[in-house]
Chain A
Amino acid sequence: MKFQAMANVTSRWLKGDGPEAGIVFSCRVRLARNLEGFPFPLWAEESKLKGVSEKIIDAIEKSKYLKNAHIIDVAELSSTERRFLLERHLISVEFTKGGRYRFLATEKEEMLSLMINEEDHLRLQTIFSGLQLMETWRLIDRVDDELEEMLDYAFLPRYGYLTACPTNTGTGMRASCMLHLPALVAVRKINDILKGISQLGLVARGLYGEGTEAQGEFFQVSNQLTLGLKEEEIIDHVEKVTHQVVEQEKRAREALLKRNVIEIKNEVGRAYGILTGAHLISSQEALDLLSKLRLGIGLELLPGFNIQILNELFFLITPAQLQIREGRELTPLSRDQLRAKLIREKLSKVR
């Protein structure tokens, strides 16, 4: 199995050292670009896809930012290996389906990567820890400038960057923030907040659970429009709205503490107890408990606890990450065992 070395190294953006990292997990900017003179990947014959990939790989090799990037042929990967890259936000769901002449290029710290022949010829992305969207944009802007000197981008002054999907035309940019909002979920304000975000012209989305089992208290905020606005205007808007949501989450956390400290301490403490004591644990149970622990850190109920290890654990315990780490396919039972062991080890180092 590939990527074993990679599985043991944490992506740079997972370090949890960015601004507001207790609430904002990560922020990302991606740019869609196409080469002049080639049909878009969906409609292109293999010979055209090959031509596109050769031009782009050539540019990568000359790039100051990407010359040391790891270039991966997606067609050669197993489904577990693709899933592994998907979970690390390096490839899209579309890309996990594979196909010839589809490549991923990623630099060592995984902050900067690009997909070749996804929906567009080029999908460039940068991910940073916490809420620092403008910095994230500045980096991708420079890399884009550099690549553009070597590649002929499809562009018209009227429409901007030409993309396969009309929802990306113009800047070709999607800027997003991933937020952890357990308190807004707990005080049942989350739906109002999501609606508010959407009324400000942004998109809010998330996975959520039923009843008590909080399946996902993670939400993504991103821009909807790509045409007619400057990149900095879009970035600024997403950043400002995210700041407002962060403030709301902080207020909800205070309200939660005031309402019932004992109940919350109880839940956080029990989560910690199970995570440090279990010898078999499913990924679902682990994720639910880790989310509680993360809230506990945010509420300062767990002094000295480092958020980075928790951030990492969210990623490390999925079946794909576990199997790549071990270098082989595992049965569900041995995954549950290995997961429990990993969590015990990581948490014992925290305090």
Chain B
Amino acid sequence: MLCQVCKKREVNVHFKEIIGGEVRELHLCDVCAKEKGLGESFFPSFSLPELMLGLTKLEIPPSLGKGPQCSGCGISYEEIIKKGKLGCSLCYQNFTEYLDPLLEKIHGKVYHSGKVPKKGKKEDRLDRKVYELRKKLEEAVRKEEYEKAAEFRDELRELEKGGRK
């Protein structure tokens, strides 16, 4: 078998990845394997997910044409799709209508529910408070400190009732 990248040398390194039941394989010669960081080391490099995901083709929405440019970085949505990478943080606001379906396709969801930075706008800070309380609550439950946990739970309810939406 010939190497998938150079199509010249014999294959010596096999890389396999399975996502969502789909198997992807790379068969490479020693030279190309080394190039991709799969050389003589025994371990698959931690950065390979990005390498493989980079091979995924993203689709350009038909409605887009040449498309508008981001006010932050000046890059068009078409260029972003070609490279598979966004230009700057403002792209997320400028291209929301295209990004939502894309993110949904990748993650199945479009709303963040994890960590929130401590500083930032007033609403963000409230989110952070909720985030920290939730963590304290989980910790208390883990340590079986139920009185404390009940306190955190009440506080959390109060916050969620008052501050948000």
The answer to whether A155 touches B85, judged by C-beta atoms less than 8 angstroms apart, is: no
Out of A94, A206, A220, name the residue touching B50 (CB < 8 Å): A94
Annotate B101-145 by CB proximity to A: 1 below 8 A, 0 otherwise. 011001111111111111110011001000000110010000000
**Majority secondary structure of chain A interface residues (helix, strand, loop or mixed):** mixed
- Which partner residue on chain B sits nearest A120 by CB separation? B85
A284: CB under 8 A from chain B? yes
Instruction: Please report the C-alpha to C-alpha distance between residue A192 and residue B117 in the assembled complex, in whole angstroms.
Output: 40
Instruction: Please report the C-alpha to C-alpha distance between residue A166 and residue B104 in the assembled complex, in whole angstroms.
Output: 10
* Interface residue tally for chain A (C-beta within 8 Å): 85
The answer to whether A220 touches B112, judged by C-beta atoms less than 8 angstroms apart, is: no
A283: CB under 8 A from chain B? yes
- Given the complex, which residues of A lie within 8 Å of B44, measured CB to CB? 178, 205-207, 216, 218-220
- Which partner residue on chain B sits nearest A167 by CB separation? B53
Instruction: Please report the C-alpha to C-alpha distance between residue A166 and residue B105 in the assembled complex, in whole angstroms.
Output: 10
The answer to whether A149 touches B119, judged by C-beta atoms less than 8 angstroms apart, is: yes
Instruction: Please report the C-alpha to C-alpha distance between residue A89 and residue B110 in the assembled complex, in whole angstroms.
Output: 31
The answer to whether A283 touches B92, judged by C-beta atoms less than 8 angstroms apart, is: no
The answer to whether A227 touches B109, judged by C-beta atoms less than 8 angstroms apart, is: yes
Instruction: Please report the C-alpha to C-alpha distance between residue A218 and residue B42 in the assembled complex, in whole angstroms.
Output: 7
Annotate B9-42 by CB proximity to A: 1 below 8 A, 0 otherwise. 0000111111111110000000000001111111
Out of B19, B43, B47, B115, name the residue touching A231 (CB < 8 Å): B115
- Which partner residue on chain A sits nearest B54 by CB separation? A165
- Which partner residue on chain B sits nearest A282 by CB separation? B40
The answer to whether A203 touches B18, judged by C-beta atoms less than 8 angstroms apart, is: yes
Given A93-B37, A199-B21, CB of A166 within 8 Å of CB of B106? yes
Annotate A79-119 by CB proximity to B: 1 below 8 A, 0 otherwise. 00001001101001110100000000000000000000001
Annotate A128-162 by CB proximity to B: 1 below 8 A, 0 otherwise. 00000000000001001100110011111111111
Given A155-B120, A166-B99, A198-B21, CB of A119 within 8 Å of CB of B108? no
- Given the complex, which residues of A lie within 8 Å of B106, measured CB to CB? 166-167, 225, 227
Out of B21, B37, B50, B119, name the residue touching A165 (CB < 8 Å): B50
Given A198-B19, A205-B16, A227-B107, CB of A156 within 8 Å of CB of B73? no
The answer to whether B103 touches A227, judged by C-beta atoms less than 8 angstroms apart, is: yes
Selected A-B contacts with CB under 8 Å, 26 pairs: A42-B83, A43-B88, A83-B39, A87-B43, A89-B46, A92-B50, A93-B45, A93-B47, A94-B50, A145-B118, A153-B117, A155-B117, A157-B124, A158-B112, A161-B115, A162-B92, A164-B85, A165-B50, A170-B107, A205-B44, A207-B42, A207-B43, A220-B48, A224-B20, A227-B107, A319-B40
A interface residue numbers (CB < 8 A to B): 25, 28, 30, 34, 36-40, 42-43, 83, 86-87, 89, 92-94, 96, 119, 141, 144-145, 148-149, 152-167, 169-171, 173-174, 176, 178, 194-195, 197-199, 201, 203-210, 215-216, 218-220, 222, 224-232, 283-284, 287, 291, 314-315, 318-319
Given A159-B92, A166-B86, 14 other A-B contacts at CB below 8 A?
A36-B89, A39-B87, A39-B88, A87-B41, A144-B115, A157-B127, A174-B46, A203-B18, A206-B15, A207-B14, A220-B48, A228-B111, A232-B135, A232-B138
